[in-house]
């Protein structure tokens, strides 16, 4: 009595989210979503002209979820900016690890490039939170705030990627999961306090 009362559009997106979370990115077909939503394969077309539109809507949900988690973390961790930044980074990486399929979907460049549902813009608030914190901890000799934030974000994202496909342990010798993160933060922001 929740999904049933929503419109079909919302049910389709919800079914897609479930699907990508449980079965992975490649399982998110138009027809399977329609099946799970209990409608014919042509029905989604009313709301999503093309498959990419539906996928973009699902990815949006992913960004909304991640953004909500990050904001929750920001509420939970009321400390110095450096600590908050570390918590943010952990939230980001935890999300990527726990929802691999969704994470992949969110950053599929063909979806972002399609411009459907202004997907790329959806990720901006997320980046803004990071950029804001970075600006607070930036030292005078560091790169400009925007560049510093971009470089750190790239590092985070790269760790999530490499971490996801398991080449890192193989290449670096199965290091602790947090070691890379700490190294990255220390590198960009200076050694962590105490």
Please report whether residue 162 would count as binding a copy of itself according to CB under 8 A: yes
What is the rounded distance in angstroms from the CA atom of residue 133 to the CA atom of residue 80?
A: 10
Q: Which is nearer to a copy of itself, 42 or 115 (CB)?
A: 115
Please report whether residue 19 would count as binding DNA according to CB under 7 A: no
What is the rounded distance in angstroms from the CA atom of residue 42 to the CA atom of residue 45?
A: 6
Which member of 13, 34, 89, 159 binds a copy of itself (CB under 8 A)?
A: 159
Among the listed ranges 42-50, 52-60, 63-71, 177-185, the one in contact with a copy of itself (CB under 8 A) is 177-185
Supply the minimum distance, in Å, between the C-beta of residue 69 and DNA: 28
Please report whether residue 120 would count as binding a copy of itself according to CB under 8 A: yes
The 3 state secondary structure assigned to the chain is CCCCCCCHHHHHHHHHHHHHHHHCHHHCCHHHHHHHHCCCCCHHHHCCCCHHHHHHHHHHHHHHHHHHHHHHHHHHCCCCHHHHHHHHHHHHHHHHHHCHHHHHHHCCHHHHHHCHHHHHHHCHHHHHHHHHHHHHHCCCCCCCHHHHHHHHHHHHHHHHHHHHCCHHHHHHCCCCHHHHHHHHHHHHHCCCCC
Given a copy of itself, DNA, none, residue 52, with its beta carbon under 5 to 8 Å by kind, binds DNA
Among the listed ranges 4-12, 58-66, 67-75, 105-113, the one in contact with a copy of itself (CB under 8 A) is 105-113
Please report whether residue 147 would count as binding a copy of itself according to CB under 8 A: yes
Residues that bind a copy of itself (CB under 8 A): 26, 100, 104, 107, 109-110, 112-113, 120-121, 123-124, 127, 131, 143-144, 146-151, 153-159, 161-168, 170-173, 175, 179-180, 182-184, 186-188
Residues that bind DNA (CB under 7 A): 7-8, 29-32, 39-43, 45-47, 49-52
């Amino acid at each position: 009595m929740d999904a049933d009362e929503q419109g079909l559009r919302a049910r389709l997106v919800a079914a897609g989210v479930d699907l990508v979370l449980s079965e992975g990115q490649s399982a998110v077909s138009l027809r399977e979503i329609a099946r799970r939503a209990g409608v014919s394969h042509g029905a989604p077309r009313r709301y999503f002209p093309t498959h990419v539109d539906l996928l973009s809507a699902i990815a949006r949900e992913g960004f909304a979820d991640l953004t909500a988690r990050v904001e929750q973390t920001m509420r939970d961790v009321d400390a110095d900016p450096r600590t908050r930044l570390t918590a943010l980074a952990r939230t980001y990486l935890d999300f990527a690890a726990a929802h691999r399929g969704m994470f992949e979907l969110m950053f599929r460049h063909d979806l972002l490039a399609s411009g459907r549902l202004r997907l790329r813009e959806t990720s901006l608030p997320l980046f803004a939170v990071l950029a804001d914190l970075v600006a607070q901890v930036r030292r005078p000799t560091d790169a400009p705030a925007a560049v510093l934030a971009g470089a750190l974000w790239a590092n985070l994202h790269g760790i999530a990627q490499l971490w996801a496909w398991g080449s890192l342990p193989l290449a670096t010798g199965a290091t602790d999961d947090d070691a890379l993160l700490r190294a990255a933060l220390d590198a960009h922001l200076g050694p962590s306090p105490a």
